A and B are shown apart, each in its own frame.
Chain A
Amino acid sequence: MYRPEVDIELYLRNVNQYKWLITLMFIVTALALAIAGYNKQKVYSSYSTLELGSETPIKPLIGDGAVTPESKTIADRAEELVFSRKLMSELARNLGAVDGEIDTQSEEIALNQIQNRVSLNQRGDNYIQLVFDDADPFTAKQGAEQILELYMAEESQSRVGGASEAYEMLDEQVQRIETELTEAEELLKSYKNEKLDGGVTTEADINRQMISLQGELSQAKRDLRESEIQYSTLSRQLESEARETVNVGKQSGIQKTIDTLESKLAELRTNYYDDYPDIVELKREISNQKQLLRNEKNKAQNTSDLDDSVYLNEAYQEMKLNRNNAKTRMDTMRIRVSELEKNIKQLQQQGKTVLVVDAKLAQLQREYETKQGNYVDYKERLERARMTKALATDSRQSDITIYEAPFLPVSPSGLRFMHYLLGGLVLGLGLPLGLIYLLQFFSQQVKSKEMLTDMGIPVLVSMGKVKTQVDHRVERIDKSLRYILLAGSLVILTTMVMFKVFARGGI
């Protein structure tokens, strides 16, 4: 894979092809920068260095109570303050650039020129430099001193003003929140009085009562069931006893007759045979009586008719008394269950009302707590603001200290003629060469055998241009012209250097 960007031979051919471009760009760039550097006025810079956010001697005694701005914030504010119209106007007046208020266009221009000579550089996280440039080193120092003085005064004023403003704002906030808190407290109190003292119990009480009632209801239902079972058992026993009493009376009479007839039959059998008419009659009679007894037994199981004998039975009477007692208890239990169920329904209804009250109460409570939290928070901030205000009014507590005072500069700052000269030579050569490299990288022109072979096209030979005598002559002239131009530009550069060294005392 052919890569034109690494083809050095092609690059050298391109350099040869665009030698005029290189020559002209070199001459233009080198001369332009040299002239710019030659005509550039010397600038002297004086500056002061300020340390931001440094710890004051009293600060450790106060602790973290006071609110101190972040160093970055101070740096940003410093930039705003330094380049504010107020400070710049004052500086211009102090330096004599303008008199009094700035009204005319020429004064605005003078102000703008002063502003262009001021710069603020941040050095690291905690240091800033207030720089003033001027062609005269003494003026530069004076300007730097003026900026520092004005900035420190403005900063102090701004700090005090800011702290007071913050304190007043927080104070207003605290008062407002205090009023709101009192209102919330009153509202909560009155609602509690209205609802809770008016018989509305809490949800917890309702739950407790409900559990108790449900327990009682379960017990009552169990007792009722027990009474019902007792009553039913006693009723069945009572009926059974009555039947038993009636049948036993009738059957015992029949049995006695049978016994009498059988003893008579036995007496007759001792004297007579079985076919004796009396014996036969007795047998028939016994048989009838037995039949009668059996019928009576069956009848006892199927009939409920009672006779007076039953009512004379003591066991029957006792059982009847017990059954009546059981019935009385059963009725009582039924009434109790019914009452309990009614109570539970009432309690459930009451529970619904209690939920609404609780929600409202919780809301009021929340509002009250929020306001209380805000109140505490703002109160703390107010206290810190009070301390900050106190610190701001005391200049000893400033977060800004002068690390380096303005000085008298001895050598000019910024780029000098020498830098422009060297930069022009380097740039003048580097710019066209870089441009040619870019051209080589992006060009789609066929300029190497490898480019064609990379496309699968064989290359037989490559030939240079067949030149005539005229071509050779033109080439020689071309070359000479380039050398003359280059030499001319170098002569100009050398002359400028000489002038700079001898006439202006250094490059």
Chain B
Amino acid sequence: MSNFSKALDKIISKEQGASQAQNISLGAAGDHQRAFEYEDRVTSRRLEASQGIKKMYQPRLYTERELNSLRFVLADEKAVEQRAALEELRNQIADGNAAVGKTVLITSPIDSPAVSVFSRNLASILTTDESVTAILIDMVNTKESLQLTDSLKQPGVRDFVQDDSLSVKDVIYPTGIQRMRIIPTGSGLAQMGELLRTTRMRVLLKDVTRRYRERYTIIIAPPINSVSDVELLNEYADQIILAVPYSKTMKRDVIRAMGKLEKTKFLGTVMLDVIEKFKTPLDRLGLG
């Protein structure tokens, strides 16, 4: 959890402490009154945030066809299970406090485009709430991730780390999803694993993760088994998710990856690209 989130929780707990003090004198009626007041404050804060968010620059929105070609999970009946899974995951990440943004590190034991697709879908599902935004920091240069940016030449993480003249806002781009921004991998030949040790990378992560309290930051990290310095990623992440591509990951890769991730922040694993089971005649008749 970022320092910002901790500070906010502190304020809320103080408010709750004050209300408890009042409750002693007011009794049951006081409880309700205090709860209403708290809800009012939260709602007003979220309204205020959503009003500000509405003013975000949004050049255009993806059409349904574009969303489909970019492998976004659509709200149709073909992807009911996937959407339900993403929503369930969103709730687990929010942990009852959706209005407060968090930094989620998504990595996998092996290199797979499915991680990029999953991350963008997670970011997308998080931004369905109008009071929060999401930003993807893409550290993996895959075909799938490149599709979200307009040009390959747009500066991204690599450029920011290597070019001191660039500021953070220079590498943040809007996407065709409302309230969703992206920092692409960028150009350059430097290995992402080596860049993770630089001060500029620290500056980037610090700035992005702590600027807005209602912003979710999704870091798409390179395959964890191919990175030696994982301290920075572990430090800035509030929660860590290990994406495990189905039938491509070996048990030993998962064990090795688990050894590199910080246990206290580890939320769990997500199995991706799971193949549907073969439908037997019984299944087709609804008897399976």
Residue in chain B with minimal CB distance to A22: B278
B71 near A16: Cβ-Cβ < 8 Å: no
Interface segment, one of B168-176, B229-237, B266-274: B266-274
**Complex alpha-carbon distance, A371 and B82, angstroms:** 99
**Complex alpha-carbon distance, A463 and B85, angstroms:** 7
- A contacts with B, residue count (CB < 8 A): 29
| Residue interface mask A455-484, B partner, CB < 8 A = 1 | 101111111111111100000000000000
Q: Is A176 on the interface with B (CB-CB < 8 A)?
A: no
A462 near B268: Cβ-Cβ < 8 Å: no
A463 near B271: Cβ-Cβ < 8 Å: yes
Contact of A465 among B68, B114, B241 (CB under 8 A): B114
**Complex alpha-carbon distance, A15 and B78, angstroms:** 22
Q: Is B275 on the interface with A (CB-CB < 8 A)?
A: yes
Q: B68-124: which residues lie under 8 A (CB-CB) from chain A? A: 68-69, 71-73, 78-79, 81-82, 85-86, 88-89, 92, 114, 117-118, 121
**A-chain residues with CB within 8 Å of residue B121 when the two chains form the complex:** 466
User: How far is the CB of B133 from the nearest CB of chain A, in Å?
Assistant: 22
**Complex alpha-carbon distance, A481 and B57, angstroms:** 48
A458 near B268: Cβ-Cβ < 8 Å: yes
A17 near B252: Cβ-Cβ < 8 Å: no
**A-chain residues with CB within 8 Å of residue B271 when the two chains form the complex:** 446, 449, 452, 459, 461-463
Q: Is A444 on the interface with B (CB-CB < 8 A)?
A: yes
**B-chain residues with CB within 8 Å of residue A16 when the two chains form the complex:** 275-278
B275 near A13: Cβ-Cβ < 8 Å: yes
Contact of B275 among A451, A464, A468 (CB under 8 A): A464
User: How far is the CB of B266 from the nearest CB of chain A, in Å?
Assistant: 8
User: How far is the CB of A281 from the nearest CB of chain B, in Å?
Assistant: 154
**Complex alpha-carbon distance, A19 and B278, angstroms:** 9
Q: Is B153 on the interface with A (CB-CB < 8 A)?
A: no
Q: Is A445 on the interface with B (CB-CB < 8 A)?
A: yes
B79 near A466: Cβ-Cβ < 8 Å: yes
Residue in chain A with minimal CB distance to B277: A12
Q: Is A284 on the interface with B (CB-CB < 8 A)?
A: no
User: How far is the CB of A99 from the nearest CB of chain B, in Å?
Assistant: 64
Q: Is A9 on the interface with B (CB-CB < 8 A)?
A: yes
**Complex alpha-carbon distance, A12 and B271, angstroms:** 17
Q: Is B36 on the interface with A (CB-CB < 8 A)?
A: no
B270 near A468: Cβ-Cβ < 8 Å: no
| Residue interface mask A74-103, B partner, CB < 8 A = 1 | 000000000000000000000000000000
A9 near B250: Cβ-Cβ < 8 Å: no
Q: Is A360 on the interface with B (CB-CB < 8 A)?
A: no
Q: Is B246 on the interface with A (CB-CB < 8 A)?
A: yes
Q: Is A299 on the interface with B (CB-CB < 8 A)?
A: no
User: How far is the CB of A74 from the nearest CB of chain B, in Å?
Assistant: 58
B71 near A455: Cβ-Cβ < 8 Å: no
Q: Is A447 on the interface with B (CB-CB < 8 A)?
A: yes
Contact of A469 among B68, B114, B117, B250 (CB under 8 A): B68
**Complex alpha-carbon distance, A61 and B250, angstroms:** 81
User: How far is the CB of A432 from the nearest CB of chain B, in Å?
Assistant: 13
**Complex alpha-carbon distance, A271 and B242, angstroms:** 173
**Complex alpha-carbon distance, A439 and B92, angstroms:** 35
**Complex alpha-carbon distance, A465 and B247, angstroms:** 12
User: How far is the CB of A15 from the nearest CB of chain B, in Å?
Assistant: 4
Residue in chain A with minimal CB distance to B241: A460
**A-chain residues with CB within 8 Å of residue B255 when the two chains form the complex:** 455
B274 near A463: Cβ-Cβ < 8 Å: yes
**Complex alpha-carbon distance, A404 and B245, angstroms:** 69
Residue in chain A with minimal CB distance to B251: A444
A461 near B277: Cβ-Cβ < 8 Å: no
Q: Is B258 on the interface with A (CB-CB < 8 A)?
A: yes
B85 near A461: Cβ-Cβ < 8 Å: yes
Extra pairs beyond A444-B250, A459-B268, A463-B118 (7, CB < 8 Å)? A17-B247, A445-B251, A455-B255, A460-B89, A460-B92, A461-B89, A469-B69
Chain A residues with CB under 8 Å of chain B are 9, 12-13, 15-17, 19, 444-447, 449, 451-452, 455, 457-470
